[in-house]
Amino acid sequence: MSSLTNQNIFTVSRLNAEVRLLLENEMGIVWLVGEISNFSAPVSGHWYLTLKDSRAQVKCAMFRGNNRRVTFKPQNGNQVLVKARLSLYEPRGDYQLIIESMQPEGDGRLQQQFEELKMKLAGEGLFAQTSKKPLPEHPKRVGVITSKTGAALFDILDVLKRRDPSLPVIVYPTMVQGEEAAIQIAQAIGCANSRNECDVLIVGRGGGSLEDLWCFNNEILARTIAASQIPIISAVGHEVDVTIADFVADMRAPTPSAAAELVSRDNSHKDQALISRQHKLVAAMRYYLSEQKRCAASLEHRLERQHPNYQLQRQSQQLDELEVRLHRSMQQYIGVRHQKVERLQHRIALNSPVRRLAEQKATLQRLEQKLLDAMDRKLLNTRHQLALAAEKLDTVSPLATLKRGYSITQTEQGKVIVRGSDVKTGDTLVTRLSDGEVRSTVN
C-alpha cells in the first residue's frame, strides 16, 4: 500500500485551479452554435447566458470588453455562433465558456468561412505585396468586369468620361451576386487575359450585405485573380466592405468610382507627374544619405568590435553563460541522485517489517471478524431451534389443553382426581380452568 504525501492530497481550491488550467490549455479556442437562454446583463456590463441545443447546455460569460463589439442585442431564443475558450469558474466548480465574439448563426458561419479562407490564402502567400503587379502609369485601355445593369458600371463610366474621355473601356458583363456569379467573374477574367486587349481590369460591384458580396469571397475567384497576367483593381462595395478579392487583387479601391479615378488622368496629370518625380528624387537622395550613414555606422561598429573592452565584455558574458550551464548541470546531477535515493527509500519501504506487520494485523482483523460472524450465525441458529422446540412443547402442554375448554380437578393437597372413588363427602376440590380456578365441596 503506497503512502500518501502532501503532493498527493488536493484542496478543493487547488483542484479547481488545476482543472481550469487543463481546460484552458488543452482545449484552446472553440466555435460553438447554440440557442441563447437565461440571458442576463447586470450593471457591471458583463453578459451571462446559457447556450443549449436539444440535448445539452453549457454556461457562458461574455465580458464587457468583448460584448461591446457585438452588433446586435442578444435575446433568449436567438441562434448564434460564438468563438470562445473553455474555462472553469473556480468558486463554484462550474465549467463554462468565455465568449470572445458572437454573431447570428447565418452571418457567423459566413464570417467563419471568410476567416478560414483568408488564413489559408494568406498562408500560401497570395496576399503578399511582392506578388502584386504594378498598375500601368498610363493605361491605353481599361477593362471592367461587373453587371451590365448595375450602378457600379455607370459610376465607373461617369468618372472616366469626366476625367479622361479619350480612354477606351471594354465591359465584360457578368453576374455579381448568386451562386454562379463567382464562376462567371472568373471566366470573364480568363477571357480578358486570353484576348489581351486591356492594360488593367476593374472587378467589382456596389455595396451590400455579407451574403450579397459572398461571390467575391470564393476561393476559385481568388486564385483566378492571383493568376491574372493583367493587373486587377478590386472595387467591391463601399469603403467598409472587405472581401477576399480585395486582399488578393493587385490594388484595392474603396468604391467603383475610386477605381475609375485610379486608372484615369485628369487635366493636371502632368503637374502631378512632375511632383511625383520630384518626390522620387527627394526620396532617392534621402535613401542615398541613409545608406551612407548606415555604412559609416557599420564601419564604426566593426572598429568597436576590435576594441579590447568589447573582447573582455564578450568573454565575461561567455563566463556567465558557462557558470549558468555549470549550475544547471550540478542541479541536474543532484536531482538525478536525489531521485535514485528516493527510489531506494521506496524499495526499503516496500520490504519494511512495519508494512508486513500491518498486513498481518489486517489479516488477523479479518479472521477475528469472520469468527464473530460465525458465532453470531451459531447463536441465531440455536435460538431458532429453541423457538421451534418451545413451540412443540407448548402444543402438548396441559395449559394448551385447558385453553381448548378442558379443566383439571385436584384436592386441596394437589392430588389430581381421575376417578370418583378418589373423593368423599366433605372434601374440598379445586378445579383449574384456563383463566383461573373454582373451589367446590363434595356433598
The CATH number that applies at residue 89 is 2.40.50.140
Residues 6+ positions from 238 with CB-CB distance below 8 Å: 206, 207, 254, 255
Task: Kindly state whether residue 315 falls inside one of the protein's structural domains.
Answer: no
Q: Which CATH number characterizes residue 188's domain?
A: 3.40.50.960
How would you class 10 by CB atoms within 10 Å of its CB: exposed for 0-12, middle for 13-18, buried for 19 or more?
A: exposed
SS3 249: coil
Looking at the fold, whether 23 and 149 belong to one and the same domain comes out as no
In a domain, 140, yes or no: yes
- Residues 125-141: tens digit of each pLDDT: 888 888 889 988 888 89
Same domain, 194 and 153: yes
The verdict on 144 and 167 lying in the same domain is yes
pLDDT(4) > 60: no
Q: Is residue 335 part of a domain?
A: no
Residue 333 within a domain: no
Secondary structure of 219-247 as H, E, C letters: HHHHHHHHHCCCCEEEEECCCCCCCHHHH
Contact partners, residue 250, CB within 8 Å, separation at least 6: 132, 133, 134, 135, 231, 232, 233
How many structural domains is the chain composed of?
Answer: 4
Same domain, 288 and 270: yes
Same domain, 207 and 95: no
Paired strand residues for 81: 33, 103
Provide the domain limits for residue 83.
12-110
Domain end marker among 79, 110, 141? 110
Considering the domain architecture, whether residues 253 and 279 belong to the same structural domain is answered as no
Residue 430: beta bridge partners?
Answer: 410, 439
* Residues 153 and 248 reside in one and the same domain: yes
Per-residue pLDDT band at 311 (split at 50, 70, 90): low
Whether residue 134 is found in the same domain as residue 260:
yes
Range 287-302 average pLDDT: 78
Say if 252 falls within a structural domain.
yes
The single residue listed with the C-alpha cell 453587371 is 147
Q: Are residues 51 and 172 in the same domain?
A: no
What phi and psi, each to the nearest 5 degrees, are found at residue 425? -60, 135
Q: Is the pLDDT of residue 313 over 70?
A: no
Q: What is the pLDDT of residue 30?
A: 86
Confidence of residue 1 (pLDDT cuts 50, 70, 90): very low
Rg (CA), the chain: 50
177 occurs within a structural domain: yes
Do the domain assignments include residue 242?
Answer: yes
The average confidence (pLDDT) of the chain is: 82
- Tell whether the model's pLDDT for residue 412 goes beyond 60: yes
Q: Domain check: are 52 and 79 in the same one?
A: yes
Are 247 and 286 contained in the same domain?
A: no
| Closest listed residue to residue 61, CA positions, set 33, 30, 25, 100 | 100
CA 31 to chain centroid, in Å, comes to 7
Q: Average pLDDT in the 416-429 region?
A: 77
Q: What is the pLDDT of residue 183?
A: 92
Give yes or no: residues 154 and 28 share one domain. no
- pLDDT digits 0-9 by tens, 226-273: 999 999 999 887 777 788 888 989 998 888 988 888 888 765 555 566
Whole-angstrom distance, CA of residue 288 vs CA of residue 295: 11
Within a domain: 356: no
* pLDDT score of 208: 76
